[in-house]
Amino acid sequence: MSCGAALLNLRLALRHTSRADVVKLLPDPHDPDVLARVSVGAATPSDPADEALFAGIPLRHTCRHPFATRPLPQALLDDLRSAAESEDVELCILEDEESRRRAAEFVAEGDVDQMGDPAFRAELAAWTRPNRTRLRAALAELLARSRAGSAPASGGSLRPGSASGSDARSGSPLAFEFSSSSFSRSPRLHPQLMLRMGYGLAPRPTPRRPVRDVLR
Q: What is the pLDDT of residues 6-46, one digit of tens each?
A: 899 999 999 999 999 999 999 999 998 898 999 999 999 98
171 in Cβ contact with 96 (< 8 Å): no
pLDDT of residue 1: 78
159 secondary structure, DSSP code: E
| DSSP state for residue 58 in the 8-state scheme | G
Report the C-alpha gap between 18 and 23 in whole angstroms.
Answer: 16
The pLDDT of residue 136 is 54
Alpha carbons within 13 angstroms on the beta-carbon side of residue 46 total 14
Residue 150 pLDDT grade (very low, low, confident, very high; cuts 50, 70, 90): very low
> Which residue, among 63, 154, 66, has the nearest Cα to 102 in the 3D structure?
154
pTM recorded for the entire structure: 0.66
pLDDT computed for residue 84 by the predictor:
87
Residue 143 to residues 109, 136, 154, 156: CA-CA distances in angstroms?
Answer: 11, 10, 12, 16
Report the residue count for the chain.
Answer: 216
CA distance 55 to 59: 8
Query: What is the model's pLDDT at position 20?
Result: 95
pLDDT at residue 135 above 80?
Answer: no
Of 67, 70, 14, the closest CA to residue 38 belongs to: 14
